[in-house]
Amino acid sequence: MKKATISIMVFLSLMVSLPYPAFGQEDQNPVDTIRKYAVKIFLDCHDCDMNYTRQEIPYINYVRDVREAQVFILVTEQEAASGGSQYTYTFLGQGEFRGMNDTLTFTSSPDQTSTIIREKRTNLLKMGLMRYVARTPLINEIEIQHNKELEAEEVIDRWNNWVFELSTEPQFESEEAYKKLELRNSINIAKITPQIKLEIELDQFYEREKFIKYAKTDSARTDTYITSGTSMDNLFVKSLGDHWSAGLKWRLGSSTRENYDFSTEFLPSVEYDIFPYSEATHRQLRILYSAGYQYNDFIDTTIYNKLKENLYLEMLNIAFQVQKKWGSVNLSLTGSHYLHDFSKNRIELNSSVNIRIFKGLSLQVYGGIARINDQLNLRKEDISEAQRLLQLRELATRYRIAGGIEITYTFGSIYNNVVNPRFNSNEFHYD
């Protein structure tokens, strides 16, 4: 069945006073009345086009503080099996709308443009807001229509849930004394249903850098450095209910930077989510255990005098995610070690926390730390200064730390719904 098309037309006349019987009187200025009595919403959405949203939905007030809002709207996104994305809009009523909650979803397809996706997401937001707008004076100015030419149509999936994605990214840079060529290619194959998840990802990377030094005799010396890598990641997962899943992770690849002529890792795994998977867009606490086999064929002799080796390892990952009105938290703790020597291990903690402290003030803290003691692949030979500066080879390290803090404070009118796109920058920036 084709989806009904719902269009909402809002007529806000500046010449005629509007009746507001619910409030017992009429305001001499309809615009002021609308501004005063329109539903106040806080839209928690990181990738929404707010200019477009304000233009298409002018009959509500967009506030900057969640405590000022009558409706809190949380927008979350998950990758869909088709290659598109599933957007979940959670509406939570506050104040006089407390208890009026709802959840709506929209799933895009990979062939839809960003403009189409933006329009459909905005329509979904309009429909979710109607139950709140209907309890304000603006209900008299809302008209809902539908497409009268709906047809029943049988849907046949000739691809049987298989999705394929190809991408290529060639880049080049040229100067008199420096030239660079970079190639990135990838192939993604997936089949995802409620019961199984099968993903195959192939990635290829090639980079060549040339440094040209001209001597006084007009002769030139050219130094060329090449790094390349190829990998294939395979994942198969079988659903075992609302909380359990079992699967297999299998990785193959090669990398000049990491000293792998060939490497493969075969890890049977099991996962348990404390919360049902159906609540994944709001909260997750997943425990993933993996154990398996690794084979390495090195390009050069390692610091442990190995050219080839067979290894066994195990890994445990605990991931926590929650998204609420006050903000969001993401935590991931991963530990792994080789079974032949427990001292060859790695522990990583990654996190991001976004908190709304009070009106207009928000704090975001993000970062990660890793204790590294499992670099069995490091080359035995000394590293040159050029290899170090250009990061052509993996360097020995016992830890890695990265992170940052962002504090944002906004103040001023909470009712400024005006959109003015003049002098917006449309410049293209190179990375």
Q: Is the pLDDT score of 371 beyond 70?
A: yes
- CA 354 – CA 363 distance, rounded (Å): 6
Check residue 35 and give its pLDDT: 60
Check residue 148 and give its pLDDT: 60
**Category of 406 on φ-ψ map: left (φ > 0), alpha (ψ -120 to 50) or beta:** beta
Residues making up the chain, counted from first to last: 431
Q: pLDDT tens-digit profile of 390-426?
A: 666 777 788 889 999 988 776 665 555 454 455 554 4
**For residues 319-335, average pLDDT:** 86
- 251 CB-contact burial (10 Å; exposed 0-12 / middle 13-18 / buried 19+): middle
Of 116-120, 234-238, 265-269, the poorest mean pLDDT is in: 116-120
Of 6-15, 188-197, 219-228, 307-316, the poorest mean pLDDT is in: 6-15
Q: pLDDT tens-digit profile of 274-306?
A: 988 877 767 889 999 999 999 999 999 999 999
Pick from 20-29, 66-75, 144-153, 376-385 the range whose average pLDDT is largest. 66-75
Check residue 394 and give its pLDDT: 76
Q: Which residue has the higher pLDDT, 52 or 39?
A: 39
What amino acid occupies position 174? S
**For residues 240-267, average pLDDT:** 94
CB 238 within 8 A of CB 196: yes
Q: Which residue has the higher pLDDT, 136 or 8?
A: 136
Q: Is the pLDDT score of 379 beyond 70?
A: yes
Q: Is the pLDDT score of 254 beyond 70?
A: yes
Domains of the chain: 8-145 (3.40.50), 161-231 (no CATH), 240-409 (no CATH)
Q: Which residue has the higher pLDDT, 324 or 286?
A: 286
**Which pLDDT band, with edges at 50, 70 and 90, does 14 fall under?**
very low
- Hey, what are 165's tokens? 């994605």
Check residue 170 and give its pLDDT: 94
**For residues 2-28, average pLDDT:** 38
b/e map of 301-314 (b: 16 or more CB within 10 Å)? ebeeeeeebebebe
| pTM as predicted | 0.63
**Which pLDDT band, with edges at 50, 70 and 90, does 322 fall under?**
confident
Beta bridge partners of 368: 350, 402
- What's the chain look like in SS3? CCCCCCEEEECCCCCCCCCCHHHCCCCCCHHHHHHHHCCEEEEECCCCCHHHHHHHCCCCEECCCHHHCCEEEEEEEEECCCCCEEEEEEEEECHHHCCCCEEEEEECCCCCCHHHHHHHHHHHHHHHHHHHHCCCHHHHHEEEECCCCCCCCCCCCCCCCEEEEEEEEEEEEECCCEEEEEEEEEEEEEEECCCEEEEEEEEEEEEEEEEEEECCCCCEEEEEEEEEEEEEEEEEEEECCCCEEEEEEEEEEEECCCCEEEEEEEEEEEEEECCCHHHCCCEEEEEEEEEEEEEEEECCCECCCCCEEEEEEEEEEEEEEEEECCEEEEEEEEEEEECCEEEEEEEEEEEEEEEEEECCEEEEEEEEEEEECCCCCCECCCCCHHHHHCCCCCCCCCEEEEEEEEEEECCCCCCCCCCCCCCCCCCCCCC
Beta bridge partners of 271: 245, 288
CB atoms within 10 A of CB 363: 15
